[in-house]
Amino acid sequence: VLTRIQREFGVPPGIVLGIWGLESHFGGFTGATPVFQALATLAWQPRRSAFFRGELYNALTMVSGGFIDAKTMTGSWAGAMGQPQFMPSSYLAHAVDFDHDGQRDIWRSTPDALASIANYLRDSGWTAGQTWGREVSATPEVRQRLKDIPLRTDGCSAKRMMTERRPLAEWAKRGVTLASGKALPSTDIPAGLVDMGDRLFLAYPNYDALLDYNCAHLYALSVALLGDRLR
């Protein structure tokens, strides 16, 4: 299944499994809260009422479209559903029927859930044949010199906490190395620096797709590193 998913969507198995693992413990727990109850409560609360009101209507669209019946729509306290923990808007935009049974079932069908994760990443700009990035190393002196590279001004909060992208060759010239201390690969792929304090990472464009799934570096890096281990 994972091989066919990679062939169709261009996302490697490790990345798909990384998200699946973090979101629902590899499908083991998808949440038991009734989605309409969760969304109606959050739509009433002032803090993000407009967003959750929209998701409530999207959930109604799912039921009226025959995708699933309301009684079996369960998820997290915030309305995230199924093995990929999709919000209703994400379900309508990205869920796929990969087992060809006529239903986009991200609750019970593992092929549908995994393919929907891959489709989400592809729709978010994941480029087949490229990786997410890599862990790197820099001496304190090099780190100090890297401070002249400005932070990004676009995207979600996590994207704005990483530097603007520079060609990998430029990072090498500035003294950045692989985590092992060896030289960076000789390529001009653009990369932004993600500084996690005790660890540094150069993130390629595909990394943005992981942040689109969940805008947090701890999440995206956990998926990426777990994906590397599962590769």
Q: Count of residues for the chain?
A: 231
The CA distances from residue 224 to 17, 121, 198, 230, in Å, are 10, 13, 17, 10
In 3-state terms, what secondary structure has residue 196?
Answer: coil
Question: Catalytic site residues?
Answer: 23
Contacts of 146 (CB under 8 A, 6+ apart): 138, 163, 174, 176, 193
Contacts of 211 (CB under 8 A, 6+ apart): 155, 156, 158, 159, 217, 220
How far apart, in whole angstroms, are the C-alpha atoms of residue 24 and residue 206? 22
How far apart, in whole angstroms, are the C-alpha atoms of residue 221 and residue 219? 6
Which of 227, 151, 144, 145 lies closest to 194, judged by CA?
Answer: 151
Q: Where does residue 147 rank: exposed (0-12), middle (13-18), buried (19+ CB within 10 A)?
A: exposed
